[in-house]
Structure 1
Amino acid sequence: MGVSWWRVFVAVAAFLAAAAVLVVAGKDNGNGFCGMSQEQLYECKAAVATGSAVPPPSSTCCEALAMANVTCFCDFKNNIYLPLLGINATRAMQLPSICDPKKTATCN
């Protein structure tokens, strides 16, 4: 089957909406999302994807997470747009501790 252009359009539209929300909410402070650039986030996307066959995070992803503000992730753990982007929020919250057991996203 070919690429479903409608799904691509919806994913891009959701991403742009989420990016706009982040800018308005002040989460993009020039350092990207929670201290991670768009490229660094992309490196981690496979490890937080929805579905059952999910690979472990890459070393590049873990290096980016080492510099990220993981507590900032808490603001988005219940975001309704994450599943539309193919992101499993539970996996995303676990990712920092998978890369470094001493680093967790502790939410209040």
Structure 2
Amino acid sequence: MEATVKRMKINTAALVVAVAVAVLFVGGSRGLSLCNMNDEGIEACKPSVIEPNPVDPSAECCKAISGADLQCLCSYKNSPELPLFGIDPNLALSLPAKCNLTLPSNC
């Protein structure tokens, strides 16, 4: 039974990595979009959501966050996908407040 559970976990992890690679591949040819943020907005915010030395969000990042679907961003709160891109979900969810925006109450 334990071996079956282990294989399922490995298969799930492999699937997540495959999906992430596919998203990067397709994103590279068409541009990445996440919760109404285009690749430029995501890139502007990356220094603020990557450990070990995140910086305060830039004006470009805050502009991107202000146009983002914040409810959609909340859906990534406990998601394993963001860390696959080197993004710390807690830092990502702290960006709206740092940009003087309010997250939805159910976030």
User: How high is the TM-score relative to the length of structure 1?
Assistant: 0.65
| 1:107 positional shift | 3.2
- Measured in 2, the distance between the counterparts of 1:85 and 1:105 equals 24
- State the structure with more CA Rg: 2
1:106 to 1:87, Cα distance in 2 relative to 1, 3 A:
farther
| 1:76 positional shift | 1.2
Deviations 1:28-71 (A, max 9, x none): xxx931111011111101101122x2110011000111111111
User: How high is the TM-score relative to the length of structure 2?
Assistant: 0.65
Query: What's 2:36 paired with?
Result: 35
Instruction: Structure 1: state its 5+ residue gaps.
Output: 1-11, 21-30
Q: Please state which structure has a larger fraction of its residues in helix.
A: 2
* Letter in structure 2 aligned against 1:48: V
Query: What's 2:87 paired with?
Result: 87
Query: What's 1:16 paired with?
Result: 21
Instruction: Structure 2: state its 5+ residue gaps.
Output: 1-16, 25-31
Deviations 1:70-104 (A, max 9, x none): 1111211112132232111001011011101x422
Percent identity at matched positions? 33
User: What is the aligned length?
Assistant: 84
**Are residue 103 (structure 1) and residue 102 (structure 2) matched?**
yes
| 1:15 positional shift | 4.2
Query: What's 2:5 paired with?
Result: none
